[in-house]
Amino acid sequence: MKLVKLIANLGYGSRREVQMMFREGRITDPQGEVLYADDKVAHDDIRSDDEPLDPPAGMLLMLHKPTGYTCSTKDPGRVIYDLLPPRFRLRDPLLSPVGRLDRETSGLLLMTDDGQLLHRITAPKSALPKVYVATLANDLRGDEATVFGSGTFMLESETTPLAPAVIEPLSARAARITLIEGRYHQIRRMFAAVGNHVDTLQRLSLGGLTLDGLEPGQWRVLDATDLARVWH
């Protein structure tokens, strides 16, 4: 019955539903031979409806989040889980975003069901660089790199200054921003504090990971080599 629990925890159905999948012969090995619930077989040698099983617990994936989607399971509007196979929402442990991008921010978003890995990536002491591109409503003033990189810049209602951020102008109304922390709506609040407004915001990279050609709404499972790139 360990196979029933495994497959149910991957979100393929309740234990009763997975038991029915076994009875219907839908769980097989790569050669199409029917498997039974008490068989001992490697994860990679299990097929559901002729397709390989999703990765086991510890999965890490990268999503190119489009604008208009919320990093939530219960928001009444569109959520990031709508972009994934429905069973991903039912995995146990829960597949969660690693940090969050607000509804109108697009770009690279990691998701995992590994709580320790999630904490390792998001912990403030990790100081992983996150690179964004912002387009602005007004021209850059010219002193943003100095102000945001000072290490003394304070946002409204905050009690500690921001860690130095790197600002690279791309045009009069666009900039590349590198952060090593992730406060609530940080980039939008930074530019608002100097009299500007962020029109669009996209995350390009996290650590050494980039979107690598993923189109908006696309995702892929990451492997150990990809994970190593997070820490360069």
Distance CA 164, CA 22 (A): 56
102 is catalytic: yes
- Among the options 29, 102, 199, 226, which is catalytic? 102
DSSP result, the chain? -HHHHHHHHTTS--HHHHHHHHHTT-EE-TT-PBP-TT----GGG-EETTEEPPP-SS-EEEEEEPTT-BS-SS-SS-BGGGGS-GGGGG-SSPPEESS---TTEEEEEEEES-HHHHHHHHSGGG---EEEEEEESS---S-HHHHHTSS----TT-SSPPPP-EEEEEETTEEEEEESS--TTHHHHHHHHTT--EEEEEEEEETTEE-TTPPTT-EEE--HHHHHHHT-
Q: Are 157 and 184 in contact (CB under 8 A)?
A: no
Distance, in Å, from the CA atom of 77 to the CA atom of 57, rounded to the nearest integer, reads 28
Assign residue 111 a region: left if phi > 0, alpha if psi is -120 to 50, beta otherwise? beta
Give the residue numbers annotated as catalytic, written as ranges.
Answer: 102
